[in-house]
Structure 1
Amino acid sequence: MGKRGVFFKGISDVEGKTSADRGATSREIIIEALENIPPMLSDETQKEAMKIIHYTVNNVKMGKVVDDKEVKRLIKNMVEEIIANQDAMLNLIKIKSHDEYTFSHSVNVCMIAILIGVRYQLPIDSLEELAFGAMLQDLGKIMVPDEILFKLGRLNEKELEEIKKHPLYSQQILSENSRIGELPKKIAYQHHERWHGQGYPQRISGENIELLARITAIADVYDALTTDRPYRKKFLPYDAVRLIVSRADDEFYADAVRAFVESVSIYPLGSLVKLNTEEVGMVIKINRKAIVRPTIRILFNPSGNIMEEPINIDLIKDRERFVICAIDEEEVYQMHTDQTGEE
């Protein structure tokens, strides 16, 4: 978990020196700020989640059934932690290689789906069903040939049709364990269906799609958009949220989109933003009554230099400042390099 005590006193070391005093780079400043936002899931639970999804996939590859007891134990812990830490940062797992994408994506989709479900006020048993299905929704991809799954170029029609079979494969794999209920299987089968009826595999629409699958669909798309892939650069969280909002009541169920935005906000915790003052800071608190006016920790002054003493600005109270755009980490690094010649 983050070191809360340091955060609101300024980013400083044990001798009381600020990051600017120590000649820290912009990269170090951003990393330090991120480390001091408490995460929704503990490192221990995240590691356990990755371990169990690896274990589950490997077992299925060897012809074994899904160990529902292990997954349910994990899910229970994840739901409890997320309910307890809703105002903490959505700490999505970063992948180191494309081979890890399937594993990290499964855990991330599960976390986001739980968060949406909590905001949607689902009861605990429904949250756990949602989490189970969201965690294993892509399990069927192990039956898709690697040369299709990891292809860098555009898929041809035949390859695309093979990819579109993975929801059916996921449902079939989950059905092999009689202890797994119908809802997780529906989530796995329907998470690529769309509200307007143009999804797959059945092209069903509206309320014919299970509610928990509608929620999982949003979580699935958000994580996919905000993750670097071999064939495209990741979206900024702000841009991913905007895209999903723009498709509410078309591709996505509007009430679930509303719960999603209330959960992650338009400027998610940990996002970097530029203000009208040309200052750059990190979102450290979401103001749910006015999501476009979060609390910002100013890290860089209008000249692009590191703040000697970072300050926290609540944009609800400070009406002179406002966010003009979200900004990418690399853009901040480049900005600071241009100013200082460092990095």
Structure 2
Amino acid sequence: MEDSAKRLEVIVEFMVPGATLSGDTFDSENNFLYPAYTVYTNEIIDELKSKGVKKIYYTPVENNDATAFAKQAQDIWESLFEAVRNNARPDLEQTKDFVLSLHNYVKQNKDRFLYLMKIKDYDDYTFTHSVNVGILAMAMASKHGLEEKLVHEIGLGAFLHDVGKLMISKEILNKKEKLTNEEFEFIKKHPEYGYEYVAKHDHIPKNALDVILHHHENYNGKGYPKGFQDEDIPIGAKITSICDVYDALITARPYKRAYSSREAILSVMKESRVKFNPVLVSRFVRDMTPLLQKEPLIPVGTIVLLTTGEVAQVEELHSTGDLRPIVKILTNERQQKIARPFIVDLTLDSTRSVKRIIPR
């Protein structure tokens, strides 16, 4: 436990789902609970209550880098909004410099850069979401082995991916009730609005423009605005699409609760071969899960359905984001119990993989 003079107390009963605390949390007996910047979902809050934890304690950790980047991002988005409101040509040189600084920070702080994603605010969702998606997209693109120039250009497009929403009223964007068909069709125009606006600038690379225009295209061809299928969607847009959905899910909004990192990753997995390229989903899960959470995605003891139709239990993991663990096969392909369950390492068996988790 850190210096008790700086320690703050939080009453669990009054915690709001979606809250984050800028320090590791402990119970009244100094037992560690959760790491700094955990998103306190309904499930976590209910778990604390069920364990009889009435108060939690933490010591705020100063995060000057995150504060500085957040301030720069806010200034950029305010200037963009002002330009949109005045129908002025965008000045994106500051934006390009900012994303380059962000890219360099991500490269130099491979284990710490996700702390930059921890400042969240309902009213400032647009710029915090943009920073988060930019960070995730550059990290994922880098791990995918793309060249540095392309990683930076993808990051620029990812940071600006929602610039078209500046042309849409906050009343529609933050509406708690279900959108009307007309309102939804209007929101679906934001990739084109953003593309057309940013394209007015002479020196924005095509890869960045592709991200802005195509980040809502789907693997199955049922996205927008062009209805492109996987092979026609630029790689930067594919990567940004996954990162966009992940960050939107883990962020509390006026109309929804925040998902835990695990819930969000599993939701992304469900959209493999529907919204997202399956290879990129696998790499996102494998490469990003260890950075995004400490707990394994599929814990030991989890019951899973395999692609063969067999039911199995996870026995051992290779890593936090392991999607090919060592499992014990419990049933045959018709899901009938077998007399002698046997162990299979899915990394060594190309005929089997995890299809989904079976709830207990």
Provide TM-score, normalisation by structure 2: 0.65
**Secondary structure in structure 2 of the residue aligned to 1:128:** helix
Question: Are residues 1:171 and 2:195 paired?
Answer: yes
Contact 1:108 1:223 (C-alpha < 8 Å) held by counterparts: yes
Contact 2:250 2:264 (C-alpha < 8 Å) held by counterparts: yes
Alpha-carbon distance, 1:81 to partner: 0.8
Point out the structure with the larger strand share.
2
Question: Are residues 1:95 and 2:107 paired?
Answer: no
CA displacement 1:137-175 (0-9 Å, x = unmatched): 111112223332221100111111111011110011011
Partner of 1:217: 241
CA displacement 1:229-284 (0-9 Å, x = unmatched): 111111110010011122223210123223322332167246799x99xxxxxxxx
Evaluate the alpha carbon distance shift between residue 272 and residue 210 of structure 1 in structure 2; reply closer, same or farther with a 3 A threshold: closer
CA displacement 1:7-43 (0-9 Å, x = unmatched): xxxx33289x9x979877988985787967x989644
CA displacement 1:188-222 (0-9 Å, x = unmatched): 11000001111111111112011100001011100
Alpha-carbon distance, 1:89 to partner: 5.4
Partner of 1:188: 212
Q: Which moved more, 1:183-192 or 1:253-262?
A: 253-262
Partner of 1:231: 255
Q: How many equivalent residue pairs?
A: 269
Structure 1 residue ranges (4+ consecutive) displaced by more than 3 angstroms after TM superposition: 19-36, 38-43, 269-273
Partner of 2:185: 161
Evaluate the alpha carbon distance shift between residue 39 and residue 82 of structure 1 in structure 2; reply closer, same or farther with a 3 A threshold: farther
Contact 1:40 1:88 (C-alpha < 8 Å) held by counterparts: no
Evaluate the alpha carbon distance shift between residue 33 and residue 90 of structure 1 in structure 2; reply closer, same or farther with a 3 A threshold: farther
Alpha-carbon distance, 1:56 to partner: 2.4
Alpha-carbon distance, 1:57 to partner: 2.6
For the residues of structure 2 that align with 1:199 and 1:59, how far apart are their CA atoms? 29
Q: Which moved more, 1:253-262 or 1:198-207?
A: 253-262
Partner letter of residue 320 of structure 2? Answer: I
For the residues of structure 2 that align with 1:21 and 1:146, how far apart are their CA atoms? 39
Partner of 1:109: 133
For the residues of structure 1 that align with 2:67 and 2:292, how far apart are their CA atoms? 20
Contact 2:142 2:151 (C-alpha < 8 Å) held by counterparts: yes
Q: Find the partner of 2:3 among 7, 13, 16.
A: 13
**Secondary structure in structure 1 of the residue aligned to 2:141:** helix
Evaluate the alpha carbon distance shift between residue 93 and residue 58 of structure 1 in structure 2; reply closer, same or farther with a 3 A threshold: farther
Unaligned runs of 5+ in 1: 1-10, 277-287, 294-343
**For residues 1-343 of structure 1, what are the structure 2 equivalents within 5 Å?**
11-13=1-3, 42-88=66-112, 90-91=114-115, 92-97=117-122, 99-265=123-289, 268-269=292-293, 290-291=319-320
Q: Identity, % of aligned pairs?
A: 27
Contact 2:218 2:229 (C-alpha < 8 Å) held by counterparts: yes
Evaluate the alpha carbon distance shift between residue 40 and residue 125 of structure 1 in structure 2; reply closer, same or farther with a 3 A threshold: farther
Partner letter of residue 119 of structure 2? Answer: K
**Secondary structure in structure 2 of the residue aligned to 1:184:** helix
Partner letter of residue 13 of structure 1? Answer: D
Evaluate the alpha carbon distance shift between residue 272 and residue 55 of structure 1 in structure 2; reply closer, same or farther with a 3 A threshold: farther
Contact 1:242 1:266 (C-alpha < 8 Å) held by counterparts: no
Evaluate the alpha carbon distance shift between residue 267 and residue 177 of structure 1 in structure 2; reply closer, same or farther with a 3 A threshold: closer
Unaligned runs of 5+ in 2: 8-24, 38-56, 301-316, 323-360
Provide TM-score, normalisation by structure 1: 0.68
Partner letter of residue 290 of structure 1? Answer: S
Contact 1:237 1:271 (C-alpha < 8 Å) held by counterparts: no
For the residues of structure 2 that align with 1:156 and 1:221, how far apart are their CA atoms? 22
For the residues of structure 1 that align with 2:258 and 2:114, how far apart are their CA atoms? 17
**Secondary structure in structure 2 of the residue aligned to 1:265:** helix
